[in-house]
Structure 1
Amino acid sequence: MYYQDVEIAYFIERPNRFIAFCLNQKGEVLKTHVKNTGRGKELLLPGAEVALVHIPGTKRKTAYDLIAVKKGQHWFNIDSQLPNQLAIDGILAGTIQLPHLDGEIVTYKREVTFGKSKFDIYLETSCGQKAFVEVKGMTLENKAVGAFPDAPTIRGLKHVNELIHAYQEGYKSYIVFIAQFEHLHRATIHEQMQPELAAAFRAAQQAGVNVVVYNCQVTENQVRVKQAIPFDLETVFEDPNL
């Protein structure tokens, strides 16, 4: 993914989930749309270097999207619309490997309903396998450990439980985390943030649902899927915000 018309600025404040004010290099205060409704407290700190995409339009309330934040020496992409596209592109290209999925992908669809949930991707292979894939972005990190979520998610919990039912009905079932940053050694569920979600993931893995994590090389204007990262539910995430 490559972003055009990117400007570097500095974060000032975030009065609500959707809006942030940033200071550009001309000394102007810009009202921006934050492309992620998560908390992002460990990223969006006063003075943090941020990347803004200039997208003027008469129907927009702001002329800029805030899409990345620099934490230390590393860029973190926070565009919540990006992981789905990276996942489907990576799966189709073979960059992202789904365990136990045999044959070539012959059919795929986006946003397919199963039960009471709508999963991000539906696949069929040349071997007759059918699969559901739910994609989640990951932006929370501490000490090279990535974690999800950074805020409790009822929707995410519902998806995990529904994937168990899909697997029991004969579908291959996957949760793909796209870590929107590069510097991490392993990933886990933030159990302290949402114990019910960690329990659901344990049940899902025991039932046969596959969980995979891929990190990304990130700059202020580009994101590229890099490699698979170990997922370990027993890793304890130390949240710097708690």
Structure 2
Amino acid sequence: MEFTKPLIPARLIRRYNRFLSDMILEETGQEVRAHCPNPGAMLGLKDAGMRCWLEPNDDPKKKLNYGWRLVELEGGHMAGIDTSIPNRVVAEGLRAGLVPELAQYANIRPEVKYGNGSRVDFLLTGDGLPDAYVEVKSVTLRDGDWAEFPDCVTARGAKHLAELTEMVALGHRAVMLFLVQRTDCKQFRLAAHLDLGYARAFDAARAAGVEAICYGTDITVDGVFFGHQMPVDPSPQAI
């Protein structure tokens, strides 16, 4: 997924009110307000002084002229903070056959109603195959080589796990796909210390047949692209 406009480097002053951030543009020194498209805790990604990349816009319908997209990390690594991007990246990966576990499905439909008033991120269908319900989660938390999810309590995430479990009980496939939006991780596990309830729901869902897979991303100032597969910790996550 390529960004629609060239990104502009800036330094973070502060992120607040969940969806707002103040930045200083590197080229001009101008202080601007940028939309922060991430309601999560953003642990380790919102420290004052961090180098960020903003996408400008000239849409008169938008209140802010900049959208925060990336954070630079140590060692030349990058993290994507926009939670709307993973679904677009996964859609490109599915259509290009980059997810071997799901490559046999010919039809890919986004945002299909299911469960109790929910919409599954993708419903995959194919001749002679069980329907596959795929939920996507954006992962930005890191501990050493581990990418972790979630970075705060997510009752909505636990609800999705329960609904995927119901799909398995009905004879369908259900897949939780974690997409790591940072380039400095090698494997994936849950952050049970931040949300034990989600970890318990995950263990129950996986025991019931919900599949858990994880993929990384390749991130540059040009875009966020579907990357390599990462191993998921096979042990119980609720500790």
Shift of 1:63: 0.1
Structure 2 vs 1, CA of residues 235 and 146 (structure 1 numbering), >3 Å: closer, same or farther?
farther
Contact 1:202 1:233 in 2 (8 A): no
CA distance in 2, matches of 1:228, 1:85: 17
In structure 2, distance between residues paired with 1:71 and 1:233:
28
Deviation of residue 235 (structure 1)? 8.5
C-alpha separation in 2, matches of 1:104 and 1:234? 28
51, 62, 65: which one pairs with 2:64? 62
Quote how far apart the aligned CAs of 1:221 are.
2.9
- 1:53 aligned residue: 55
Aligned length: 234
What does 1:208-219 align with in structure 2 at a 5 Å threshold? Answer: 208-219=209-220
Cα distance, 1:233 vs. partner? 5.5
Residue of structure 2 in register with 1:81 after alignment: 84
Q: What does the per-residue CA deviation read over 1:61-116, in whole Å, with 9 as the maximum and x for residues that have no partner?
A: 11000001012131101111111111122122111222xx5x83232211112221
Inter-partner Cα distance in structure 2 for 1:47 and 1:163: 40
Are 1:7 and 2:8 counterparts?
yes
Does the aligned pair in 1 maintain the 2:43–2:141 contact within 8 Å?
A: no
**Counterpart position of 1:119:** 120
Aligned to 1:149: 150
Aligned residue identity for 1:75: M
| Matches of 2:144 and 2:106, distance apart in 1 | 40
> Residue by residue, what CA displacement relative to the aligned partner does 1:168-217 show, whole Å, maximum 9, x if unpaired?
10111000011011221211111011111111111111111110000111
Secondary structure at 1:105 match in 2: coil
Distance in 2, Cα, partners of 1:235 & 1:34: 33
Match of 2:224 in 1: 223
| One of 37, 40, 43 as aligned partner of 2:42 | 40
Give TM-score, length-normalised by structure 1: 0.92
Partner of 2:19: 18
Cα distance per residue 1:24-82 (max 9 Å; x no partner): 12110010001111111311111100000001221111100000101213110111111
Confirm or deny: 8 A CA contact 1:51 1:221 kept in the other structure.
no
Amino acid at match of 1:109: R
- Which residue of structure 2 aligns with residue 92 of structure 1? 95
**Pair 96,106 (structure 1): closer, same or farther in 2 beyond 3 Å:** closer
Distance, in Å, in 2 between the alignment partners of 1:200 and 1:72 is 33
Counterpart residue number, 1:198 = 199
What are the Cα deviations for residues 115-157 of structure 1, in whole angstroms up to 9, with x where unaligned?
A: 2132101011122321100011101112121011111111110
Q: 5+ residue gaps in structure 1?
A: 237-242
Percent identity of equivalent pairs: 28
Letter in 1 for 2:62: R
Secondary structure class of the residue paired with 1:183:
coil
Q: Which runs of 5+ in 2 are unaligned?
A: none
Rounded Cα–Cα distance in structure 2 between residues aligned with 1:235 and 1:13: 37
What SS does the aligned partner of 2:91 have?
helix
2:102 maps to 1:107:
no
Which residue does the alignment assign to 1:240? none
Contact 1:12/1:46 (8 A) holds in 2 = yes
Could you say what secondary structure the match of 2:153 adopts?
A: coil
